[in-house]
Homo-oligomer: A and B are copies of this chain.
Amino acid sequence: MSIQYAPVVATSVTKQIAEQIRESIFDGRLKADDRLPTEHELADQFSVSRPTIREALKLLAAQNLIRSRRGPTGGTFVKRPTEEEARADLTTAATLLVSLGEFDLAEIAEARHELELVCGRLAAQNRQPRHLEQMAAEITVQKDPELSDEAFCASDVRFHRALVDAAGNSVLGFVMYTVIEALQPVENMVIFRFRERQKIIGQHEKILAAITDASIKRTEKAITKQMNYLRTQFAAAQEHRNRMTG
């Protein structure tokens, strides 16, 4: 690697070393699949013992930034996470946040509504045939009366993801994927509690039709209708929860 490191100064040596290596990964000095020096060499370079180096490497390993292999061609390698892994990390972090932060269900519903409206407007403008097909396919799936609740929820997620994809903005897509995913436990609760599938399917059909016709107004109206429905269900679930706890 032959990168010059600044001398370690204070707090935890382990953390500082981890931080320096992390930085050299993020600023590009170390690229994906680059091999780090051996633990022994790192220990020499940082003037610490091998166990200390190993602890630092474990800090990075926990964040999926490196991987190690034994043997002559082994060693420690930089492992830039794939987009998928990075997105999984993002979802994990978001889910944790949702589980901690006591988000008001009403706020969740409002945020979801507004974000979905944005996606809907863009989708009405940018949708490609494949998005319409995907949404139609999910509606077909949802009509199957044999479908389990879990499968229905999963299809619901896929429908809304297709809508997000149709918006044709990957940044917005990542945001929405994360929000949809993080709020899924709550939404599942609603779907499991009030199994009004027909209503949901009908709403999906109207959304799809509006987007197919590239009508922004109708898309907004259809999405608002579904989101308002979700909102009432959230409120009911909230009230039910309050009765249980209070």
Contact = CB atoms under 8 A, between A and B. Distances in A.
A211 interface: no
A232 interface: no
A100 B80 contact: yes
A63 interface: yes
A48 interface: no
Nearest to A87: B97
Interface of A: 14, 18, 26, 51, 54-56, 58-63, 80-81, 83, 86-87, 89-90, 92-94, 96-97, 99-101, 103-104, 107-108, 110-112, 114-115, 117-118, 122, 169-172, 174-175, 178-179
Number of copies: 2
Q: Which of A108, A172, A179 has the most CB of B within 10 A?
A: A172
Q: Is the interface of A mostly helix, strand, loop or mixed?
A: helix
Contact of A114 (B58, B100, B172): B172
B83 A101 contact: yes
A105 to B, nearest CB: 10
22 contacts: A51-B54, A54-B55, A58-B62, A59-B59, A60-B62, A61-B62, A62-B62, A81-B96, A81-B100, A83-B100, A86-B97, A87-B97, A90-B93, A93-B93, A94-B174, A103-B170, A107-B169, A110-B122, A111-B171, A111-B172, A114-B118, A171-B179
